[in-house]
Amino acid sequence: MFIFNVYIKWNTTPVIFSINPKPTYITNEPFPALTICNMNKAYKAKIQQYEENSVEYSIIQMLCKRDVNVTVADTIEDWSTLNQFISNISQPCEKMLISCRFGGINYNCQRIFHPIVTDEGLCCAFNMVHPKFLYAAGTQSLIKETYTNHSDMDEAVSWNPEFGYSKKLPKQFYPRTAAGTGESLGLTIILNAEVDQYHCSSTNGVGFKMAMHNPNERPNVREVGLLLAAGYETKARVRMEKLEADTMLHSVHLKHRQCEFQDEHKLAYFATYTQSNCEAECIANTMMRHCRCLPHYMPKRYENETVCSIYDSECVERIRLHSMINDDDDNERECDEVCLPSCYSLKFYAEFFSTPLEHGDFISNKPALESMSEEFVERNIAILTMYYKDNSFHSNKQTEFIGMTDVLSSIGGLIGLFFGFSFISLAEIIFYTFIRPCRKVRQPKTKSKSAKKPGKLSIGIDKYSPRALKFRRNYLSPYAVSPRNRKIFHNTNNAYPPSAVTGDLLEISDLENMNIYNTQYDWRRGFVA
């Protein structure tokens, strides 16, 4: 005899599994957004007009992280125009970008690049969504859409990782999708650093900083930007990672799936939820609580949000560094706890290859460089080419690896294997355990007319008839009936023996002939009652 012990552990925590065999084509997804900044913080030709004791020169010294004339800085009461001032003293995009080519077509760089103020100063952004789709209603935009009213401009459309593009798209739109694979159909730009116009650098060298990011995310150039050195040609081979989620995950608790859908977390500053946008908003709220102001490169929404002055820079830097450390010693929730990853996300990664630029000994294939000297190219020019290697890729789709249906089927299979259990058996158990006892309790108790007393032989005539009474008085008392041999023994103690009895024993048939067969015999007491 074999005994099987089956232990079933009921685990309500689902296991999230990622798989998606369906390929995703690069022509259905946006090309990565690119934000490029010149590391020069102040354009020398523009700051020569300011005197050293002026307010403007003090702000320039602050941007360059140099000693500031405190006496002059005390006279500044309104710092809200700081972004405009940065745009005026920085290298404009039309001077930074010499040549632009995308999808095999040459473009006017001002058509596809737009100025944007970031933590690295004034930068030029490519393929970002329009501010009306990036920011929530009422938020001040940091992007200057200067050329959106021109007839040759592409039409701005909405896009986000969860819902993608709309079904009907115009002929020319942005954020743009990739035209195909390879360098010829990628993005190629020629940049001019204008080293002679450097007043101060955000790093220890000259060149550019670039950041690839989601088209509806605010770029974080200062911390995650990559360097593009002047005098080099750089190739960036891009790969894309897309994360999707099954709609059934809506029913899974947030602490188990650890990702958020668009309709679950509304942001105050941004129209689309991404982890990067949420963290930027979380840091802004933390700065408002502790520093009572916001840095100039963060969007503003409410009237009480003022731009941080030079005296608030220490508080701003402390909060900024603390947000990256993620210290759990304080009582506040960290931004990484508040901002979970998106259930739908699109991320871009690149492999970089660079080579020094040579000019003079041979004819360059870039017409824009033909009129430049070899020394100028080596000091100022940087070339960047971004392209896809593959035409398609497999995205990851999150779904329940073990759901409620799988748990029930596993339990049913184990029970059926070891106990021969089925749903019919379950119905029988329920019937005999609950339904049948309830029916017996509710049924009224009625005594049947044919009920018999236990241990007595009923022959079935009215015991109160005159014949029965006469028989009882004259014949029954002197006799005892033996149940084994059906004999009636004569009771000699009776003073009134029946005259018909001549011996000690009578057969039952004799009594039957005497019409006494309707009596009752008590088998337990041993004689007829």
Q: What is the 3-state secondary structure (H, E, C) of 56-104?
A: HHHHHHHHCCCCCCHHHHCCCCCCCCHHHHHHHHCCCHHHHEEEEEECC
Q: Helix, strand, or coil here: 242?
A: strand
- SS3 percent helix, strand, coil of the chain, rounded to 5, is 30, 25, 45
Residue with the two structure tokens 């015991």: 463
CA distances from 496 to 51, 102, 467, 475, 510 (A): 158, 138, 17, 8, 18
Question: 120, 37 in Cβ contact below 8 A?
Answer: yes
What Cα–Cα distance (Å) separates residue 393 from each residue in 177, 353, 389, 399?
Answer: 15, 22, 10, 19
8 Å CB contact between 513 and 489: no
**Cβ of 224: how many Cβ atoms within 10 Å?**
12
Which pair of tokens denotes residue 401?
């690896």
Instruction: Please give the single-letter amino acid code of residue 507.
Output: E
CB atoms within 10 A of CB 483: 10
> 316-340 burial, b for 16+ CB within 10 Å, e for fewer?
beebbebbeeeeeeeeeebbeeebb
As a residue count, the chain comes to 529
pLDDT at 482: 46
Q: Count the neighbouring beta carbons within 10 Å of the beta carbon of residue 8.
A: 10
In sequence order, what are the beta bridge partners of 352? Answer: 236
Q: Determine the 3-state secondary structure of 335 from DSSP.
A: helix
Say which residues have a Cβ less than 8 Å from residue 467's Cβ, sequence separation at least 6: 515
Please, what is the angle between helix 82-89 and helix 55-63, to 10°?
80
pTM for this model (two decimals) = 0.72
Helices 275-290 and 313-325, axial angle in degrees (round to 10): 140
- What is the C-alpha to C-alpha distance for residues 355 and 96, in angstroms, rounded to an integer? 21
How far is the C-alpha of 249 from the C-alpha of 247, rounded, in Å?
Answer: 5
Helix, coil or strand: residue 437: helix
Establish how many alpha carbons lie within 13 A of residue 384's alpha carbon, considering only the half-sphere containing its beta carbon.
28
**From residue 524, how far is each of 421, 459, 473, 489 by CA, in Å?**
50, 17, 22, 17
Integer Cα distance of 212 and 221 in angstroms: 9
CA dist 127 and 314 (Å) reads 34
| Encoded amino acid at 268, one letter | A
Contact status, residue 125 vs residue 113, Cβ threshold 8 Å: yes
Q: What pLDDT shows up at residue 444?
A: 65
Residues in the chain predicted with pLDDT less than 50, given as ranges, are 1-13, 15, 147-149, 151, 451, 455-460, 477-529
Q: Is the dihedral of CA 390, 392, 394, 396 positive or negative?
A: positive
The strand pairing partners of 18, in sequence order, are 398
